[in-house]
Amino acid sequence: MCELLAMSANTPTDLCFSFTGLTRRGGETGPHKDGWGVSFYEGKGVRSFHDSDASASSRLAEVVQTHPIKSEVAICHIRQANVGEICLANTHPFIRELWGRYWVFAHNGQLSNFRAAEGFYEPVGDTDSEALFCDILNHLRSHCDRNAPLEEVVERLVRLSQTYAREGVFNLLLSNGDWLFTYCTTKMASITRRAPFGPARLKDADVTVDFESETTPNDVVSVIVTEPLTSDEQWDVYQPGEWRLWKKGEVIAAGGK
């Protein structure tokens, strides 16, 4: 299986600390060595990095770890291939435009027999994950108006996620830059950091950060992962079938427990 990482914050924040921990699991402390990718929203734009090599030894990943790209929403994925060859086209996150915004998607799991219905969006690679992403966007394009209220879009996403989950493992990160939708069938956990901030230590690297020196009292930063990244913080574990909608670091809707 792959591993996921996302961030939702109320102020532009870098992902260096969490990304450093996750990349170690890509071929060093974990088996997820078949490629990686990360996307940072900057306004309506997206800055993305992808590599089909193991993240633990990737020079490009090293650049991202040490370059503080600030964003309010970011999505990251390290891959352990089970469907599709190891190549750049099959690395997550996948990106498409819908209703004048870039949508970013990453998936952990396997629906090995999934075949998306034909539609406007088509996969470029040969993973079930990208086929799922295209299927989601085709459903939204067909059944929702671009000016539909967020509640209607989320309701559609929840129903689609529940349908996919009946066919296999479906852990999801999806964003249009304004909000972040997460869905869990097996493993997912989150942590929300706010004042008073304190130190945190990574499980997978000898790295500690004091968030008090890196933040302001008004900052709210939430991190969502497959497996907790730190050893000295209390993470909130999702239940199977649980979904949460995040915006500016806070959960604004949830359900499915």
146-185 residue pLDDT tens: 999 999 999 999 999 999 999 899 999 999 999 999 999 9
- Homologous superfamily assigned to 3-255: Aminohydrolase, N-terminal nucleophile (Ntn) domain (3.60.20.10)
Cα-to-chain-centroid distance, residue 177: 12
Instruction: Express each pLDDT in 105-127 by its tens digit.
Output: 999 998 867 777 789 999 999 89
Instruction: Express each pLDDT in 44-97 by its tens digit.
Output: 999 999 999 999 999 999 999 999 999 999 999 999 877 778 899 999 999 999
Which helix (H) or strand (E) segment holds residue 114: the answer is none
Does the annotation mark 2 as catalytic?
yes
List the catalytic residue out of 2, 76, 134, 184. 2
Q: Is the pLDDT of residue 14 over 90?
A: yes
Using DSSP, state whether 200 is helix, strand or coil.
strand
Instruction: Express each pLDDT in 130-149 by its tens digit.
Output: 999 999 999 999 999 999 99
Looking at residue 164, its pLDDT comes to 94
Q: Are strands 189-194 and 220-225 parallel, antiparallel or unpaired?
A: antiparallel
Domain borders along the chain are 3-255
Alpha-carbon gap, residue 79 to 102, rounded angstroms? 22
**Start-end of H helices in the chain:** 16-24, 59-66, 128-143, 150-165
With beta carbons less than 8 A apart as the criterion, state whether 207 and 238 touch. Answer: no
- Of 216, 219, 174, give the one whose Cα is nearest residue 194: 219
Ramachandran angles phi, psi of 175, nearest 5°: -145, 150
Looking at residue 111, its pLDDT comes to 82
Looking at residue 117, its pLDDT comes to 79
Mean pLDDT of 192-205: 94
Looking at residue 257, its pLDDT comes to 67
Looking at residue 226, its pLDDT comes to 97
Q: What integer best gives the mean pLDDT of the chain?
A: 94
Instruction: List Cβ neighbours of 38 (8 Å cut-off, separation of 6 or more).
Output: 5, 15, 19, 48, 49, 64, 74, 75, 76, 77, 93
Mean pLDDT of 200-217: 93
Mean pLDDT of 205-223: 93
Looking at residue 188, its pLDDT comes to 98
